[in-house]
Structure 1
Amino acid sequence: MSIVKFLTSKTFFKHLAIAFGIVVVLVFVLLKFLDIKTNHGEEIPVPDLSKMQVKIAQEKLEELGLELILLDTVDFRNDMPPYSIVEQDPKAENTVKNGRKIYVKVNAGEYDDVTLPALKGKTFRQVSANIKSLGLKEGKITYKPHLAKDEVLAVTQKGKTLKAGDKVKKNSTLDFVLGDGKEFYDEQTFDKEETTIETPVEDAGE
């Protein structure tokens, strides 16, 4: 049988119809499989993971068919428990498909250390701006007789005198001892009131 006759024969069209039917069935089965695999049409509400420890959040997501991915640790926030989740993406109540990754950031365990710069000998105005930029707080201010007014004479924390290079926790409070600008006058007063102590002279007869 020639090719032309075969292509126009009933046998060819019969085989073609069978082949077409097989393709349709295979496509239908494949689409059904993909629907089941991806839970087509089924979406899962993302739970609120805020303030949860990573392990607990991970278990909760796994129960829902979701995956937790830890991105980073953020600077310590005192309004959140240490090592708890502070940010998540997607946000809570968004709907996602099964197997979706939920990205989170975790609170640090405590405040970071800050290296104390040279503060002694500077004016309090200079120092105030400096410590605020470092995330530190101003505490108690006391004055001591000194020639220069508001010059920083000492920096302390909980009674301990600090120096340049010491480490303190971010967000901690520093106390300051400042000059009162009155030492010059106090010295004048002291000079006026100064008395001379004479050494007793021994009697010549003794």
Structure 2
Amino acid sequence: MSLLKFIFSKQFLIQIGIAIVALVIIVFGTLQWLKYTTNHSETITVPNLSKLSLDIVDKKLDEMNLRYTVLDSASFNPEYPPFSVLDQTPLPGKKVKEQRKIYLTVNPSGYAEVEIPDNLIRKTLRQVQPSLLARGFKIGDTIEEPDMAKGAVLELQHKGQILKPGDKLPKTSVVDIVIGDGSLKYGQNTDEAKDLNKNTVNP
């Protein structure tokens, strides 16, 4: 078989086609390997996201080819804006690869609401105060009203409104405590005791 006939033969053309396909695969694989090894050592410095809103975080991390996910919100921190970043993992300054996920803890919109506990009425001031403080309330004024039991808690108030068991207030709300002053005698009504107290104070 002459060289010219062999060049144009079906067998030769098949071999040329196989060689071209193999060359394309080798070139493509080499380019992908070079791309991987070139970026393999590249890292990104994690930015400080503290006190940033999620809108700003989303834009910032997208520009840096980083991702994020929001964990359950923590307790409200008044030193941080609502819905801003409280904490992050990895910490700022850490080196990470592209598309690394940053885990964020976000500040809630405000303090969680807490229920007014029951069984506080007619207890002593020393019993009621720790119970309220343990739930995150602040103790306001102690107001005395005529009652037979001196120091017994008659009612709880918030901004002048009487609180009932089960009522909810934001944590850190101020609760005023009304207690008995021991001036009410048996068979005497509250108004009489108040008048008597006024006359005693202002003869």
2:109 maps to: 109
Tell me which residue corresponds to 1:166: 167
Residue 135 of structure 1 corresponds to 136
| Offset, 1:164 | 0.9
Alpha-carbon separation, structure 2, partners of 1:33 and 1:184: 92
Shift of 1:181: 3.0
Aligned counterparts, 1:1-206, within 5 A: 31-36=33-38, 39-118=39-118, 119-184=120-185
Matched residue SS, 2:71? strand
Deviation by residue 1:83-112 (Cα, 9 ceiling, x = unmatched): 111110001111211111100011111111
The unaligned stretches of length 5 or more in structure 1 are 1-21, 195-206
SS of alignment partner, residue 65 of structure 2: coil
Residues 59/26 of structure 1: CA separation in 2 closer, same or farther (3 Å cut) = closer
Q: Runs of 5+ in structure 2 lacking a partner?
A: 1-22, 197-203
Number of residue pairs the alignment of both structures matches: 165
Whichever of the two has the greater Rg, that structure is: 1
- Cα separation, 1, equivalents of 2:145 and 2:131: 22
Amino acid at match of 2:53: Q
In structure 1, C-alpha distance between the alignment counterparts of 2:107 and 2:168, rounded to whole Å: 21
Secondary structure (helix, strand or coil) at the match of 1:129 reads helix
Secondary structure class of the residue paired with 1:177: strand
2-structure distance, mates of 1:171, 1:142: 20
User: TM-score, normalised to structure 1's length?
Assistant: 0.71
For 1:58 and 1:81, locate their aligned partners in 2 and report how far apart those are by CA, in whole Å: 17
Deviations along 1:36-82, whole A, 9 cap, x unmatched? Answer: 4xx22222111111111112101101111111111121222111111
Where does residue 12 of structure 1 map in the other structure?
Answer: none
TM-score w.r.t. length of structure 2: 0.72
Q: Distance in 2 between matches of 1:58 and 1:25?
A: 37
Structure 2 Cα separation of the partners of residues 45 and 141 of structure 1:
55
Could you report, residue by residue, the CA deviation over 1:145-171 in whole angstroms, capped at 9, with x for unpaired residues?
322222111111111111111111111
Give 2:201's aligned residue.
none
* Alpha-carbon distance in structure 1 between the residues aligned to 2:184 and 2:81: 49
Instruction: Report what 1:5 is aligned to.
Output: none
Matched to 2:57, the amino acid is: A
The AA in structure 2 aligned to 1:159 is: G
